Chains A and B, each alone.
Chain A
Amino acid sequence: MTVPAGRVPGPGARGGEPASGAAGSGAAGSGGGPRPREAGQTAGARAVARALTGVLPAEAILTDPARLRTYDCDGLSHLRVTPGLVVLPETTAQVRAAVLACAEAGVPFVARGAGTGLSGGALPVADGVVIALTRMRRILRVDPADKVAVVQPGVVNTEISAAARPYGLYFAPDPSSQTVCTIGGNVAENSGGAHCLKHGFTVNHVLAATVVLPTGEVVELGSQAPDPVGYDLLGVFVGAEGTLGIATEITVRLTRAPLAVETLLAGFPGVEPAAATVSAIVAAGVVPAAAELMDALAVEAAEAAVGCGYPPGAGAVLLVELDGPRAEVAGALAEVEELCRRHGAFDLRRARDESERAALWRGRKSAFAAVGRISPDYYVQDGVVPRTVLPEALLRIGALAERAGLRVANVFHAGDGNLHPLVLFDAAVPGAAEAAERLAGRILGVCLDLGGSITGEHGVGVEKMAYLAHQFSRDDLDVMQFLRCAFDPAALANPGKLFPTPRLCGEPPGPRRGAHPLQDAGLAELY
């Protein structure tokens, strides 16, 4: 299913055709088909368009095939499926109308923000509806006393911080795409970023949400008051990858901007001592805001792209950021510097001001895209291991890469043990793409072997459905599916994502299959 190609080779890049092997990718079971379908070709999409005429402005209902094809993928661009219809609602009522129209016509829908996701979570369903929330970009309220903001889902992550800045506040989760990605997508994917080591993921910063359920019901999940009573349905919703409904108003927690920030960059002879340093830092009781690691290949790419001027000759570069009260940060900084030196660090650099801080971060932030400068194609993997086994994980990845004859660049959130191995290949070489895919899969195997997870922050989406069964037992998956059915009995919300095979209420749109064994045994009940 997963065809590796961070950068899309050949005509698939622009033809709107799923790359070979992507057809039948599980997107609603109808696959991508070799040719993009004509818009409104199916009765379902046509019915939804008709039902929404007059409810949404005409220019917010896209039916032209050329326009539809611009929505055929998200950041996972080697999988492409043209939707049957795209709508651009501006209010909760319009989202509800769109979802109701889909429910009525039995047409699957996919919610989409900026389309920056890396696991295909916003990949359309053929002939289904894409509900693009990019026009819902109003910040409804910033409340500095309560330290919350209420925003629409299409608000870009950094726009929240910009609105909160006058009050000395900011929104902490910081995915790399934060200048582009929207809060709705952050909620769906439970996005994290470099600074989540200390500040937590999106789930730790969302207090409440207005959600349009796949049945068209509008509900409020969570509460601005702390510790709401009952099941944590908001916790269930965050990170559900758009399978439980669409958030149309989100109350987020704002965090006090740190009084002091220190950024330190150190060169190491290799990745192992650098990774060991991170463990030592955390073991010493210091929780850095961020601890980022790049290996020599990633540094080489970043130098080629932005000339970041990192320590020459380093086998790895470690970037540590500390934030908090001045005295605490000063103490921690001394400790971190000492630990770095003890692990063989050289060329320690400390940012003296904002521009120097930006310069230290520059190479790290550009690293992913920069890898395109040293390799025609690459496959971004995302896996997690316990921090303490990072050195071993990196050794094993290196050994696997050598055996496969491929290069792997590592640039990752070391503090979280969240690896981002980038498997480099040249799609023009026959078999290289398949070899890269196999290697990327084996790397996930290493992560699971060492007690980790198949995804840190990119989500499962379409890309990792097959691996879910490696991490969870059949029973685990069944329980998840029961939960999903409680929200979405007709399986219309983002079907074909997250779960490896059709289960229970049925992945592809259509009539429900027979009773589940758990039901037969009287152990579970469908809603």
Chain B
Amino acid sequence: MPAPGAAHAAASGGGDPSGWLADCVHCGFCLPACPTYILDSAEPDSPRGRIQLIGQILDSGTVSPVQAGHLDNCLGCLACLPACPSGVRYDRLIEHARERVEEEHPRPWRERAQRALVFALFPHPRRLRLVRPLLWLYQRRLSGLVSRFLPAAVREMAALAPEVTGLTWTPVAETVPAAQPRRAVVGLVAGCVQRVFFPGVNQATAEVLAAEGCEVRTPAAQGCCGALSAHAGRLEEARRFARDLIGTFESAGVDVVVVNAAGCGAAIKEYGHLLADDPAWAARATRFAAKVRDAAEWLVEIGPRAARVPVGLSVAYQDACHLRNGQGVIAQPRALLSGIPGLDLREVAEPGVCCGSAGIYNLLQPGTASRLGHRKAEHVRETGAEVLATANPGCAMQIRQALRDSGSEVRVMHVMELLALSIRG
């Protein structure tokens, strides 16, 4: 499988947005890869069309509501990156353009309020932690009573949230020793949503890493990686988060930094670019980014040592966009899953098409997100698998909801949870 990262590295655009624009030769190879173009087949909702719109914005210095709308409609799934033969850095273009949109485009108060709520909550695990008991109560007792009094935005968030199994949970221990001769000391990025709503995934990741001979350090002080902020054009906020995270892991003394949430991993690997204009941090950020691995990527890199016991499940694997397109991690999760004895691995149709989660996209653009979610759920059901495996909390929530809507009983699990199941015995 080609690693998109390698191909992008040769793009000629350098660090200049107009250079990235000029890299586009308008060949259209991105069209069939783009989920919004697949849905509506209109040029302004394709990567090529958006690149044109971004050019308009950079030229005029102004942003019209129509232009903002088409850029908002982009999932940021990066499916256009590996599709592009010319190496256009659409990821950087859209981030840059979104920053301009946030600066120039006055959003209606509802959108502003929703965005304010999202960014006051999601990148802050401590605040998310406070939401957990409320959600627990809501899911058990109150949804019928209060949901109609809630603003639509809050209701959508609550509907997407995973089921909270208890009021409390055990976070991963700050240090988990290697279970066999130590091969490496790794840091684990706990994620924000992952840590609070999918604590089992972090436990499983630490368990698998330890079983494979890694000492796992998960600093409790770590905050958000800044992925959500960066994707929404809040680059300054993203940079603050990035500096904090780099600092935290530098003092943890680890050889590599492992991430089990695709969105976070893709963003952290881009730290060198994010902080390129900050002389005090640019080199540190690049050094740090070079240490970052997705969990599956790392486990394949070091090779399996721990014994696996059979897991008699049929499993469909769904690529998270920020793994497949953002990091080129395509073969590794499949290799890990096929390495589990007894596991029947199945492919989902249209593996490169986003499920509609796309970070917070499903909260901000619920219409398009739900069309894509149901398309994905349909393809998952076609496989007849009992479990859907993915490697990103956003995808897990989105696909779980879409499957539930269609009356499906397919369970959604993280690749690391399945591995832990096999290694634990």
Contacts and interface: CB of A to CB of B under 8 A. Distances in A.
A67 B49 CA distance: 8
Contacts of B31: 114, 180
A114 B28 contact: yes
Contact of A77 (B26, B32, B42): B26
Given A7-B25, A13-B22, A75-B28, A373 B56 contact: no
Interface string A392-414: 00000000000000000000000
A115 B37 CA distance: 13
A451 interface: no
Interface in B48-85: 48-49, 51-56, 58-59, 64, 66-67, 70, 85
Contacts of A115: 26, 28, 43, 48
A372 B44 contact: no
Contact of B52 (A16, A180, A376): A16
Given A71-B43, A305-B10, A11 B59 contact: yes
Main secondary structure of the interface of A (DSSP, over half): loop
A162 to B, nearest CB: 11
B25 A132 contact: no
Nearest to A116: B28
A334 B21 CA distance: 48
A370 B43 contact: no
A369 B27 contact: yes
- For A66, A115, A305, A368, which residue has the most chain B Cβ atoms within 10 angstroms? A66
Contacts of B41: 88, 134-135, 137, 154
Contact of A177 (B2, B27, B40, B46): B27
Contacts of B18: 14
B85 A369 contact: yes
A184 to B, nearest CB: 13
Interface residues of B, number: 39
B344 interface: no
A517 interface: no
B154 to A, nearest CB: 29
A14 B52 contact: yes
A347 interface: no
Given A134-B42, A180-B29, A370-B85, A69 B52 contact: yes
A179 B10 CA distance: 24
A11 B70 CA distance: 22
A67 B66 contact: yes
Nearest to A369: B85
A14 B17 CA distance: 11
B99 interface: no
A200 interface: no
A480 interface: no
B194 interface: no
Contacts of B161: none
Contact of A9 (B22, B55, B70, B86): B22
Contacts of A67: 43-44, 66, 70
A137 B12 CA distance: 35
B179 interface: no
A11 B27 CA distance: 18
A75 B31 CA distance: 13
Contact of B53 (A15, A70, A77, A369): A70
A74 interface: yes
A306 B2 contact: yes
A305 B27 CA distance: 16
Interface in B364-389: none
Contacts of A104: none
A132 B28 CA distance: 14
Interface in A354-368: 366, 368
Contact of B29 (A10, A14, A177, A305): A177
Contacts of A134: 41-43
Nearest to A180: B28
Interface string B74-113: 0000000000011100000000000000000000000000
Contacts of A137: 41
- For B26, B55, B58, B64, which residue has the most chain A Cβ atoms within 10 angstroms? B26
A365 to B, nearest CB: 9
B63 to A, nearest CB: 10
B28 A88 contact: no
A240 interface: no
6 contacts: A14-B21, A69-B53, A70-B53, A132-B42, A306-B2, A369-B27
What are the 8 tightest A-B residue pairs by CB atom distance, in nearest-first order?
A14-B55, A369-B85, A77-B26, A70-B49, A134-B41, A70-B43, A116-B28, A70-B52
Given A66-B67, A369-B85, 15 more contacts: A13-B21, A14-B21, A14-B52, A15-B56, A16-B55, A64-B66, A66-B53, A116-B27, A134-B41, A179-B32, A181-B28, A368-B85, A372-B86, A373-B12, A373-B87
